[in-house]
């Protein structure tokens, strides 16, 4: 049984900068990995070449081959390729669905699911083997695993036999390798590990890179030249985006606006005129996901006693007010209106004379920077809509920590969003999608947006610590 080797690779610079041992060099963003007839899939952004890895790093007998890690839509578990002349890839399909069956609708679904990968594209570089500790990495480093595959999730595992456990123990006692789990191993009897002729695929390597989300595995058939790449992703993901003020608006699709005319957001200006609610920031939905490219969302300042507000997003991206906590618009009494104004009137005095614009950045630039979080769920200030993690979720977040090169904001948290609560359902009982959280800037507290694509319900939550 092969031991598993973990190798850290340091960034060497641009391609060609370190070519003393070209058979040991890993290349990011290789430009030529697909045959010409498949170029349309890279142009459609269904596939992005991420890394090229010399086969010799896995086995000396594979020294003539080069394997390529491809970014493909995150909704699929694996992608199939044929390794052909010149070590290029012919794209065969996704999750067993051949490219001949790809419809325009399927292509659109794929492009939407590629959003996370498209946001991570960087410059082409080379990486050379690092002689130091595998834990002494920097953010741009990558990690390569060869030998025995170690999965992050149990999808492809089976319990180990007593004989296999003995082998694992012998390897560990010999100091060759410390196995994290003696009790499960890859189930090579599964059809997904067979090529077209029923031959068992061979594990080549697994790759981690901070700018290549997830954990990626390559398997290969020497008989048919089939390459099957598996990709596993963290169950929960979070991305923080800083928005820094700019002098002039450059692009409507790239900026967040602090509005000088906030009343324009409401279908009925009553809520603005009476100082009940104050639209503050508007941002294009494309910041969150390309499928929201035609939508504009708004963060609305509320009195501190408010828990949530429901809006209907109209076809022209305005907000129709539906309810304020449990109050319908017809229930807004004069006393209630006065109470709202008492808590929010200061903000009305700070409406800018002209709109200000903010553009996305990797870091905070000034005291007036805004921080927006997107991903699978927010980090709530209070536990109203949260529950304790299950044992499986604890393990999944631990795996994500390893998967993301030891960066995972959910790892140290004991609670996660409880999507079974009624407050996160729309009128039809369907779970709403998390859009964004605004939790830094000139505003008190945190604001959370959820959205129902079917009913166009926008639910904004407000919390503070």
Q: CA–CA separation, 113 vs 74, rounded Å?
A: 6
Could you tell me if 89 and 82 are in contact, meaning their C-beta atoms sit under 8 angstroms apart?
A: yes
Angle at 30 between CA 26 and CA 32, to 5 degrees: 130
173: exposed, middle or buried (C-beta count within 10 Å: 0-12, 13-18, 19+)?
exposed
> Can you give the pLDDT at residue 406?
66
pLDDT tens per residue across all 465 residues of the chain: 566 677 777 787 554 444 445 567 888 888 777 877 778 888 888 999 999 999 999 999 999 999 999 999 989 999 999 999 889 999 999 999 999 999 999 998 898 888 777 766 767 888 888 755 545 556 667 888 888 888 888 889 888 888 888 877 777 776 655 445 567 889 999 999 999 999 999 999 999 887 788 899 999 999 999 999 999 988 888 888 888 888 766 555 568 999 999 999 999 999 999 999 999 999 999 888 878 989 999 999 999 999 999 999 999 999 999 999 989 988 889 999 999 999 998 899 889 999 989 988 777 777 778 899 998 899 999 999 999 998 888 888 887 777 765 667 788 888 999 999 999 999 999 999 999 999 876 788 999 999 999 999 999 999 987
pTM of the predicted model, to two decimals? 0.78
Instruction: Give residues with Cβ within 8 angstroms of 127, minimum separation 6.
Output: 9, 10, 11, 12, 25, 26, 27, 28, 141, 142
Q: Are 127 and 28 in contact, with CB atoms under 8 Å apart?
A: yes
CB 130 within 8 A of CB 141: yes
Closest CA to 347 of 441, 430, 436, 226: 441
Residues 6 or more apart whose CB falls under 8 angstroms from that of 282 comprise 256, 257, 259, 265, 296, 297, 298, 299
Kind of pairing between the strands at 278-284 and 296-301: antiparallel
What pLDDT does 394 receive? 86
What is the pLDDT, as a whole number, of residue 363? 78
Using a 10 angstrom Cβ sphere, with 0-12 exposed, 13-18 middle and 19 or more buried, the burial of residue 390 is exposed
Q: What's the rounded Cα separation, in Å, for the pair 247 and 89?
A: 46
Terminal Cα-to-Cα distance of the chain (whole angstroms): 54
- Per-domain residue ranges of the chain: 5-232, 238-463
């Amino acid at each position: 049984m092969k031991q598993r080797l973990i190798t850290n690779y340091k960034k060497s610079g641009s391609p060609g900068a370190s070519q003393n041992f070209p058979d040991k060099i890993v290349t990011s963003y290789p430009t030529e990995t697909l045959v010409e007839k498949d170029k349309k899939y890279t142009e459609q952004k269904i596939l992005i070449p991420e890394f090229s890895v010399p086969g010799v790093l896995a086995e000396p007998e594979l020294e003539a081959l080069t394997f390529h890690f491809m970014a493909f839509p995150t909704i699929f578990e694996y992608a199939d390729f044929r390794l052909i002349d010149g070590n290029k890839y012919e794209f065969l399909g996704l999750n067993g669905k051949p490219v001949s069956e790809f419809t325009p609708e399927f292509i659109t679904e794929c492009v939407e699911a590629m959003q996370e990968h498209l946001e991570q594209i960087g410059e082409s570089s080379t990486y050379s083997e690092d002689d130091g500790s595998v834990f002494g990495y920097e953010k741009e480093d990558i990690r390569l695993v060869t030998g025995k595959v170690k999965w992050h999730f149990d999808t492809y595992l089976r319990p180990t036999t007593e004989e296999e456990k003995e082998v694992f123990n012998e390897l560990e006692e010999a100091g060759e390798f410390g196995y994290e789990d003696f009790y499960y191993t890859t189930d090579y009897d599964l059809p997904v590990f067979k090529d077209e002729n029923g031959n068992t695929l061979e594990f080549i390597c697994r790759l981690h890179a901070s700018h290549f989300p997830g954990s990626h595995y390559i398997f290969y058939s020497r008989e048919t030249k089939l390459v099957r790449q598996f990709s596993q992703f963290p169950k929960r993901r979070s991305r923080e985006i800083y928005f820094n003020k700019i002098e002039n608006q450059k692009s409507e699709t790239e900026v967040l606006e602090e509005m000088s005319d906030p009343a324009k957001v409401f279908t009925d200006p009553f809520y603005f005129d009476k100082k009940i609610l104050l639209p503050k920031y508007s941002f294009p939905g494309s910041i969150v996901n390309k499928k929201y490219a035609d939508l504009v969302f708004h963060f609305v300042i509320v009195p501190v006693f408010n828990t949530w507000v429901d809006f209907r997003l109209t076809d022209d991206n305005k907000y129709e007010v539906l309810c304020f906590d449990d109050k319908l618009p017809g229930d807004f009494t004069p006393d209630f209106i006065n109470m709202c104004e008492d808590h929010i009137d200061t903000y009305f005095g700070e409406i800018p004379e002209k709109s200000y614009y903010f553009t996305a950045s990797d870091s905070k630039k000034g005291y007036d920077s805004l921080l927006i979080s997107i991903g699978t769920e927010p980090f709530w200030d209070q536990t109203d809509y949260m529950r304790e993690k299950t044992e499986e979720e604890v393990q999944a977040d631990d795996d994500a920590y390893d998967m993301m090169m030891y960066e995972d904001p959910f790892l140290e948290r004991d609670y996660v969003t409880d999507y079974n609560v009624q407050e996160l359902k729309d009128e039809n009982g369907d779970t709403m999608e998390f859009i964004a959280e605004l939790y830094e800037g000139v505003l008190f507290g945190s604001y959370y947006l959820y959205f129902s694509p079917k009913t166009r319900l926008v639910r904004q939550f407000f919390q503070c610590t």
